[in-house]
Structure formats: C-alpha cells, structure tokens
Chain A
Amino acid sequence: QITLKESGPTLVKPTQTLTLTCIFSGFSLSTSGVGVGWIRQPPGKALEWLALIYWDDDKRYSPSLKSRLTITKDTSKNQVVLIMTNMDPVDTATYFCAHSGGYCSGGRCFNPWGQGTLVTVSS
C-alpha cells in the first residue's frame, strides 16, 4: 500500500522561504518511471501543478513558479522536499504531494495523494 504524508510549517511570513517534506512508503523513488510531485490548492480554488521529481533525479517545475521552486529527493529516507522562496499571501494553500508511478508512470497522473497540509502566509 502506497502512502504519502506532507509536513511543514502551518504559518509563514511574507518573503520567507517555505520548506515542505513529503514522507512516503510502499514504493521506491529509485524505481524506473516513478516520480513524486507537488500540487497546491488555494482555499476554494483549483488544483495547481507545481513540481515533480523523477527516479533519475530529473526535475520539472511549473513555468510560472520555476524561479521560486526547488524539489529534491532523499531516496534512502523515502523523502521528497519542496522549497518555495519569497512567500506571499497568495501562496496560501493546501499543499499536496502525490505518487506518479504504476498507472501514472512518467508523470502522466498522480495516484495516490497525501492528505495535504495547509500553509497560511500572513504577517
């Protein structure tokens, strides 16, 4: 059974850097075709694709947020970290990490998802 869980601060101040960690189990991020992605959802709004890291350390970012995002993995710890710089109140959202493998190999979809973590940006 594949599970993922996000962790990180619930409140950050404007201009600060956000660091989120995704801890997963039930799969290996060293398996060909597998990836872990990050998606966010502002309150009451739509999902937004942020970033995805693949088993071979290929990293892909949303073009609109690329300058602010860094995604890394620690295969031995079954962890993926997302860093977002220069946080703004508009970045207030629930941040999800999700598995991309099996049905969804190659970043074609996400299954399953973590429960998400709400991050509020406010001074």
Chain B
Amino acid sequence: QSALTQPPSASGSPGQSVTISCTGTSSDVGGYNYVSWYQQHPGKAPKLMIYEVTKRPSGVPDRFSGSKSGNTASLTVSGLQADDEADYYCSSYAGSNRGVFGGGTKLTVL
C-alpha cells in the first residue's frame, strides 16, 4: 500500500479558509468512508481532528471540516488562527484491518 498524496505545504492569512487535499485510490480513500485527519505541532504527538471523513471528536472546533469525493478527501480549516499552524496528516482505512497515512502538509498561517 502506497502513502496517500498530500501537498507538501498550504498557507492562509488569519481569518481565511484553507483546504488540504489527500488523494488515494479505490483501495483506500475511495473504497471506505474511514478517512481521518491529524494535527501535529512540532515535537508533539498527532491529534485526531476528523474521523469517518466528516466527523469531529469532542473538543475539536467546528472550524475544522472534512469531505470526500471519489479517491480524494479534503480537510478545510476556516477562520484560520495562529495556533492552526502545524503539520496535517490524512489517513485512510486500506482494507484487511490496516491503514495508511499521507505524506503530510505543513500549514502556515501568514
């Protein structure tokens, strides 16, 4: 199973919206509604932000939203704040009770 494809970087100004894409195949992203997104600040463990494509764990602001079309999932961060600056990773169930991660996107708040 190959890693999911994410853009290496994304950026936006405070208050703006940014969308990060995550492209896989019909064997992972396109085949299951089990895409998740993680936020990772430098030196910290990843934090779950979105699961099952669109759902937010309790405590995650509704500024974070997820979607999927075909083999591509997306994470949108609205109303950008300074603390949103971090690395973001997508992940998908890939069948046979295994998963796969994306290559990560560094989000910069300008």
Contact = CB atoms under 8 A, between A and B. Distances in A.
What size tier do the contact residues of chain A reach? Answer: 20 to 34
Interface in B49-80: 51-52, 55, 57
A103 B36 CA distance: 11
Contact of A52 (B47, B48, B98): B98
A54 B97 contact: yes
B51 A46 contact: no
Contact of A47 (B46, B47, B97): B46
A111 interface: yes
B97 A58 contact: yes
Interface residues of B, number: 25
A46 B103 contact: yes
B36 A108 contact: yes
Contact of B101 (A47, A61, A108): A47
B46 A113 contact: yes
B45 A107 contact: no
B104 A109 contact: no
Nearest to A107: B97
Interface string A14-34: 000000000000000000000
Interface of B: 1, 3, 34, 36, 38, 45-48, 51-52, 55, 57, 89, 91, 93, 96-104
Interface of A: 37, 39, 46-49, 52, 54, 58, 60-63, 96, 103-104, 106-116
Q: What are the 10 closest A-B residue pairs judged by CB atoms, nearest first?
A: A109-B36, A111-B48, A113-B45, A108-B34, A47-B101, A46-B104, A60-B97, A109-B51, A46-B103, A49-B99
